[in-house]
Chains A and B, each alone.
Chain A
């Protein structure tokens, strides 16, 4: 029978994995190898994908993929008692002392160490590499976080002892097989010219068996490795036992328990790194191979027949490719036997005899297939590695099935529930947007009042003139109108951080996979899409975790429809002005419409240009973890910094330019005429004081209208008005949309400059802008911003041109400007069409 046929709660043993290509390899490397026990935990809503537990960790597989895995139910197997295997004696097992778990004390470190050491952090996704990186380097030196959330390497520094250590945080990977771009990246990095001095392998101790698979592969490369047994606190809480000094001796890898979230154990870890490095420098016989003088690699025994083929290939590689190192030659041979196409292509490109080696490999594979009665070499080699790990763990590790009733299981029971999964997800999303609007309103008012005070103060301090107008009506109205939304954006990021850090994001991807799959996307696409609510640029970068190039490009192209935080100020302003009571609901509706447009667009793209190439959905479901306040605050602070930086650069620049375009050319004659008329009104003795004020305000308003329409920005706006008039938009809205091409917040700053730049300071900036927007009239006296027009305008802002930075990210990540240009044309046309439909249909109802 196959895995998909098992019922919830049923256990089985893996017999064989069918299928071909990369999917099969990934499944094998994730631990679905012969003899391993698997449990069915739960099905997602719509009964697909399915949540399984194997090797003590949780993973989701689509039903169609699970059908390829042959299993035998545990109930159908006569279990042989295993009392012949010697269990480790629990009372003899080591427990790390408080001293060995102490964190790094920066005060102890010298400021200018003389020696240098390059250390690369390698490990499975979500094993705590970045926590270690932040704990070790964050408090000490500048961290160069180059663009990309999970994919590109990050570099940080730490002074420890006599050493200045360069820490390189590499993306997470399950193996060194070229399955996804980041795995290729890691392998090339570890073997390339920039290779690190030592690899620091971070292991999730609660999921040791699968984590060690990557460790074995790294060790096979012959690079020095030190391992951090991370999450040791969680491991200890589970009452599982590990004789890690013995495991360390068996694998030839120093292992240090750590709790990277809090920094505990890092002192011992870095001391060990330095000890190993100095051992290599001093040619320590225990570490180095006696013949080669290089680090002793780990040699997994792949069985007699495969070893024979490897030996034949090693001989040929050394002879024909002039590779003298046996370690390197064996590594190439092992990879070739695993049908690693990346290595095969490299050999073909670099060596004239590369093709000969490949044909020798093909001959060996054919010979093995006959000799092993058709058994698959890849599967046998993965089995051998897992067998090696299982052997080492059998002597050192005692697992207890304490996760049966863990908190994670209880939470998962509800959040991935067949009927409640979607409502819970929608409720959490609604909660996020409602909180963004309602909670954010309080600090927003405070900042708004501060901006108003600043404007008034500058007005009283400066004499009249263009510079005063620029500062008050351009910079303060423009930048101030946007900066007030900072608290709302921080609240949004707080929720996104919570979803990411607790582990809920993976569950959201799990329950959405079926829907995403039907719409032509991959379940993994859902994570970048949710990240897109924060900022589209890192979300585009995060699409690199999607293995299929087609799925990746589709995700990139639909990502701009996920409403980023830059669009939030526009919604908050207009929803607050036009839909006061239902602003939270309107906000939620806009985000949902964005998701809907993204899904429909993905479906269209998949059905037209990106047919075929469906990639299986194999995703780990990490246990829920309580996020640390430090991590969340760090995330929020980074975003606040970026937002404020944007205020000081793009928004400031745009506000000045928009002000300049609206201020010039000066209408001297009209101004003189207005002043004369005001004088006439003031001298009129028949009018009451109130009537005089009204008349003067009316004259000023008429002058402002005349001036704006004849300014440069007015002329530009009038020229684009025919295009947007069918959508119910006037020229002022057109200008704000044009200015929003640089960054979406500029839409608000432009509205601020256009609508409030008249010297009236009776309200705070945003209150005044909201009032003006609601009260703005067309030439015929009808309101400019009706709720219908306002909604259409918000939809237009949601859909049209993603900001310049997103377009550049799409062009770079897709490798072609073609997709960047396509994104511009597609989004602008769609925005126009949808806003047209909303206005034309809505105004007839």
Chain B
């Protein structure tokens, strides 16, 4: 297999991993910033 194909496949795998990671973060966001001060503007969800 052409070396360029191998790199393209690796980039493809990295892209898929990135999409999965982004979707994961979409539904399970990080709150390590500890921004919630309890103002209830979020409807008490945080």
Report Cα–Cα, A144/B34, bound state, in Å.
Answer: 11
Contact: B8 with A467, CB < 8 Å? yes
Option from B12, B26, B41 in Cβ contact (under 8 Å) with A544: B41
Chain B CB within 8 A of A744 CB: no
Among A178-186, A374-382, A388-396, A712-720, which stretch is in contact with chain B?
A178-186
Task: Provide the bound-state CA to CA distance between A185 and B40, in Å.
Answer: 8
Judged by a CB distance under 8 angstroms, whether A656 is at the interface is yes
Interface majority SS (helix, strand, loop, mixed), chain B? loop
Q: Which of A644-675 contact B (CB under 8 A)?
A: 653, 656-657, 660
Q: Cβ of A815: which chain B residues have Cβ within 8 Å of it?
A: 42-45
A342 nearest CB neighbor, chain B only? B40
Tell me if B42 and A812 are in contact (CB < 8 A). Answer: yes
On chain A, the residues within 8 Å of B43 by CB distance are 814-816
B15 CB to closest chain A CB, in angstroms? 5
Closest to A194 in B: B37
Cα-based distance from A468 to B12 in the complex (angstroms): 14
Given A653-B19, A657-B15, A812-B45, does the pair A465, B5 have CB atoms closer than 8 Å?
A: yes
Bound complex: CA A181 to CA B44 (Å): 12
Report whether B8 and A470 are in contact in the complex, using a CB–CB cutoff of 8 Å.
yes
B37 touches A153 (CB 8 A): yes
On whether the beta carbons of B41 and A656 are closer than 8 Å, the reply is no
User: Which among A192, A465, A467 is the interface contact of B38 at CB below 8 angstroms?
Assistant: A192
Q: In whole angstroms, how far apart are the Cα atoms of A812 and B46 in the complex?
A: 9
The answer, yes or no, to whether A593 is at the interface (CB within 8 Å) is no
Interface residues of A in 104-156 (CB under 8 A from B): 144, 146-147, 151-153
Residue of A nearest to B45 (CB): A815
Q: Mark B1-32, 1 if CB is under 8 A from A, else 0.
A: 01011011001100100110000001001000
B11 touches A470 (CB 8 A): yes
For the complex, count residues of A whose C-beta is within 8 A of B. 32
Interface size counted on chain B using CB atoms at 8 A: 24
Complex Cα–Cα for A102 and B45 (A)? 45
Contact between A146 and B4 (Cβ–Cβ < 8 Å)?
no
Evaluate contact between A466 and B2: CB separation under 8 angstroms: yes
For residue A153, which residue of chain B has the nearest CB? Answer: B37
Digit string of A813-842 for contact with B (CB within 8 Å is 1, else 0)? 111100000000000000000000000000
Name the B residues within 8 Å of A812 (CB-CB). 42, 45-46
Alpha-carbon distance A17/B1, docked complex (angstroms): 83
Nearest-neighbour CB distance to chain B for A90, whole angstroms, equals: 44
Residues of B within 8 A of A192 (CB): 37-38
Judge whether B41 and A151 touch: CB under 8 Å: yes
Q: Which residues from 142 to 190 on chain A have a C-beta closer than 8 Å to any C-beta of chain B?
A: 144, 146-147, 151-153, 181-182, 184-185, 188-189
- Known A465-B5, A808-B26, A812-B45; contact A188-B11, beta-carbon cutoff 8 A: no
Chain A's nearest CB lies how many Å from the CB of B10? 10
Chain A residues contacting B2 (CB-CB under 8 Å) are 465-466
Q: Would A813 and B41 count as touching, CB distance under 8 A?
A: yes
Q: Please give, as numbers and ranges, the residues of chain B lying within 8 Å of A189 by CB-CB distance.
A: 37
Q: Which residue of A lies closest to B46 (CB)?
A: A812
Please give, as numbers and ranges, the residues of chain A lying within 8 Å of B11 by CB-CB distance. 470, 656
Please determine whether A660 and B12 come into contact, CB atoms closer than 8 angstroms. yes
Interface pairs (20), CB distance under 8 Å = A146-B33, A151-B41, A153-B37, A182-B41, A184-B40, A185-B37, A185-B39, A189-B37, A466-B4, A467-B5, A470-B8, A544-B39, A653-B18, A656-B15, A804-B26, A808-B26, A808-B29, A812-B42, A813-B41, A815-B43
**Given A152-B35, A660-B8, A804-B26: 5 more A-B contacts, CB < 8 Å:** A188-B38, A467-B7, A544-B41, A653-B19, A814-B43
